[in-house]
Each structure stands twice: as C-alpha cells, then as structure tokens.
Chain A
Amino acid sequence: MSALLRQTSRRIRALLPIFSSVMLVLFGLLPIGLPHFDSVAPAFALMAVFYWSIFRSDLMTMVGAFMIGLLLDLLSAGPLGLNALILVLVHELGMAQRKVFLGSSFMVNWAAFALVVGAVLPAGWAIVSVLHWRLQPTAPLLAQLLLSLALYPAIYWGLSRLERRWLRASVTA
C-alpha cells in the first residue's frame, strides 16, 4: 500500500516541470496592465522550459516543450506553431549545453539565458515579419527581451526551490 502511494506520489511529482511551465504560461497571459506598456509579456514559458531542459531534461522532454509552446500559441492568438518552434529550439539549446551549466554558477546560467533569449525572440520576430510581409515594431520586442532577462532570476529561484523541495534524485521519468 505504502509502496503504491510512494509510486503515485513520485509519478505526480515527475509532472512538476510540465505543470509549473503550464502555470507560467497562464501567468504570462494574465491581463496585467502596466501603465505605458501595451501588452509586453515576459517570456515566462521560455524561462521555464530553459530551466527544466537543463536541470531535469528527463522530465521536461522535447515533446513536452512542444506541447507547452502549442498551448501558449492556442491561448495567445499568435501564429499557431510559433511558440512551439521557439520552445523546441530553446529545449535543444539547453540540452546541448547542459553539461556546461550543471556545475556552473547562476551567473553563467543567466548569461546563457541571455544568449538564448537574444537568439530565439528576434527569430520569432523575424518569422512574424515574414508571415505578414511587414516589419513588426521592435520596441515591444526589446521590452520583452529586457523584461524576460530581468525576471529570469526570480523564476530561476522559484523553480530551483520547487526542484529541491519536490524533485530529489529519486524522482525519475
């Protein structure tokens, strides 16, 4: 009985990376009106996928990243598939470099996040510009980039707390 309970609890906890990412997707969609900012949302989902693909890539699979991006696309009314594409790219970049990041400090992780965000968000901007055949405004893109960079430490802290509390090494896929 207790073995079954433990196993169920482990299964549920293994869903934590996906679940926390979905929560951050919803959080990013909340209509928070900052004065003088017209709908600039920090890329919360991107932060979550980046974090988990480095630290628990066994629980945040590439398909998981794709599905989270798809959910964001469906809820946010942007071009369908765009965020799925971006998050798959982020997952790949995180996975490819995870050996470097695992032992390194937070500052290194933050710098890497800056590089990844600085690559994929402008790529998304370029794709949308091509789709509409018109250059999109760059101010919101820049604001989104800076806001995401500024808020990453908070998300990193929160997710690492979650990981330490609920996902010890025993929890595996």
Chain B
Amino acid sequence: MARRTGRSAWIAAPILALLQRFAFLLLLAAAVGLILVSRIDRPAVERSRALVADIFEPVLSAVAQPVGVINAAIGWVDDILFVHEENFRLRTENARLLQWQEVARRLEQDNASMRRLLAAGPDLTNTFVTGRVIADGGGSFVRTALLNIGAKDGVRKGQAVIGEGGYVGRVAEVGYRASRILLLTDLNSRLPVMLQEGGHRAVLTGDNSPFPRLEYLTGAAKPLVGMHIVTSGDGGQFPAGIPVAEIVSTDGGVRVRPLVDLGRLDFLRVMQFDETRIDAEDPAAALPPLLPPQKHPGQNQGQGQSMGQASPPTPQQP
C-alpha cells in the first residue's frame, strides 16, 4: 500500500483538493440534471428502474420473509389491543351480513336465470398472479410498492392490483422478476371510478395523503359519507366493479378511504384482464364462487346444465 509521498503528494494534493471542490459542483449539477431528465424521458427512467429492481429482487425477497413475521407480530399486538371493540363490531356486522347473504343468494339465482333468458354471453374471466410486497416507496413523496413478480409471471403494465378487500393500485413498471405498483394514494394516480349506488362516473385522484379525492363527479350525483366507490372500467385496462374505497367526507371536496389498509400490504394479486378474451365457456366455472354451495340444490341448479341429455357425467365427480 504505497501511499504517495514526497514530491508527487506535494503536487497532487492541491489538484486533488481542487478536484474535490469541483466534484461537489459537478455532482450537484448531475443530480439536478437527473431530476430534469427524469421528468422528460420517462421510458428510459422506467427501464433503468426495472433493471435495478430486477437486480435487487432476490435480496429484497429474502429479507421480506422475516419482515412478514414482524408485521404479523405488530398486527397481532394491534389486534389484541382492540379485541373487544373489534368483537363487538364484528358481531353487529355479522348480523347484518347474514341478512345480506340471503339477499345475495336470491339475487344470484335471479341473475343466473335472467342471463339464461337473455342468452347473454359469458362474463370476461380474470386470472390472477399473486406476488409479495418486497419493498415500499421508501420516502414521503411516493406511494408505491415493489412486488416480487414480473414479466416472467405474466405481469404487464397497467394491470390492476388487488389486495384483501379491493383495489390497491396498478402496475406502473415491469421488470423481468419484479414490478412496481402505483398505489391509488400516489400523487400520480388517476383512477376512473363510479359510485356503487347510481353508477355516477368520477376520477379518483391521489395526492400522497391517505385519503384520495373524488373529482369530476357528475352534477346529478349526491355523494354521501359511507357510500362505496368501485372501478368503472373506463379505459379498458381492468373490469368494472372492483371495490375501491368508501367516502369519508363530503365537505370541501369528496374524500375517500381505500378499503385496503395500504400501510400493511403483504400478498397482492395482479389481475390479468383481457377484454378480447372470449374463451370461457361457462362463466360460473371460471369465476370464484360468490357464496358457499347450498345444501339442497335449488331449481336453478339443474336448469343450466342441459335440457337434452338426461344426466351427463360431470367432470368434477369421479
């Protein structure tokens, strides 16, 4: 480790000092330049981001495992603290939901028979890929998350990401192994939505706060606190009717609270929605069952199968 000594150090030191001063200004300029370039050439920035995310995906994935355990522990403590309130809330909610279950059963039957009457085409089917959140936005200026699935799993830009309870965000950047989700609370998030009651269209605009704003709501609509909003499907990148949020305030602009707790994201599903896909023969088989199967099959069960054959062997039963 020969350090420069003697004459060479005597000459080099001032030059090095000068370079040091110059380096500061140079690096400052480079950083400012990067900020400006990233505003202009977004595709290049996205590509480099995806590349870096791909490189670090294995490390982050590995470390995210114990973090899941820690998160579970935090959630557990949180749950214990509020167990009584939660219990009470769940009891009342359960009573209410049991009534809704009856309604849903009836509506499902109605819906099925109406469909048959109309000979309506099958619903568009959705498939999902599930990934784990391995990093979050890492700052107070963005609301994003990094998922450990990417192009190799079929994730594509623009697809909807669903968490436990509803819409979380959309895929903003895709790498080979990792992809970045823009959460609906992010400043850059614009989501076409509608009020669940009435179907009035609006745009949900994120502003980095936990409560995004509902904008461009049609004049006839009367938003009330507690109303739910769902995706409208406008834009064609994902289907209508995905639950998104609940209105929490209406004075001075409508604000909503996302149905999914965005502070505690773990496993998320990316919805592979393709409007042109019509390969589904039986929508009921492709869609997950809405309700647990009934004990005694009602009259609608048999109608759908076939009128001609007496009893075709169903593939489900061995």
Q: Using Cβ atoms and an 8 Å threshold, which residues of chain B touch A7?
A: 1
Does chain B have a CB within 8 A of A66? yes
The chain A residues found within 8 Å of chain B, CB to CB, are 7, 10, 26-41, 62-63, 66, 69-85, 88-89, 92, 124-125, 127-128, 131-132, 134, 136-137, 140-141, 143-144, 172
Q: With A and B bound together, what is the CA distance between A40 and B209 in angstroms? A: 12
List 6 A-B residue pairs with CB atoms under 8 Å apart, sorted by A's residue number: A75-B56, A77-B172, A81-B30, A88-B31, A124-B141, A127-B35
- Secondary structure dominating the interface of B: helix
| B 1-31 to A, binary, CB cutoff 8 A, 1 in contact else 0 | 1010000000000000000100110011011
Q: A38-B263, A131-B39, A134-B207 are in contact. Are A77 and B30 (CB under 8 A)?
A: no
The chain B residues found within 8 Å of chain A, CB to CB, are 1, 3, 20, 23-24, 27-28, 30-35, 37-39, 45, 48-49, 52-53, 56, 59-60, 63-64, 67, 70-71, 74-75, 78, 133-146, 172-173, 180, 185, 187, 207-210, 261-266
A27 nearest in chain B by CB position: B63
Q: A10-B1, A31-B67, A31-B265 are in contact. Are A74 and B23 (CB under 8 A)?
A: no
Contact of A29 among B3, B28, B136, B208 (CB under 8 A): B136
Say yes or no: B74 contacts A30, CB within 8 Å.
Answer: no
Contact of A35 among B78, B135, B173 (CB under 8 A): B78
Minimum C-beta distance from A70 to chain B (A): 8
Q: With A and B bound together, what is the CA distance between A127 and B32 in angstroms? A: 10
Say yes or no: A88 contacts B38, CB within 8 Å.
Answer: no
Q: Using Cβ atoms and an 8 Å threshold, which residues of chain A touch B33?
A: 81
Q: With A and B bound together, what is the CA distance between A172 and B1 in angstroms? A: 9
Q: Using Cβ atoms and an 8 Å threshold, which residues of chain A touch B210?
A: 38
Contact of B264 among A35, A75, A88 (CB under 8 A): A35
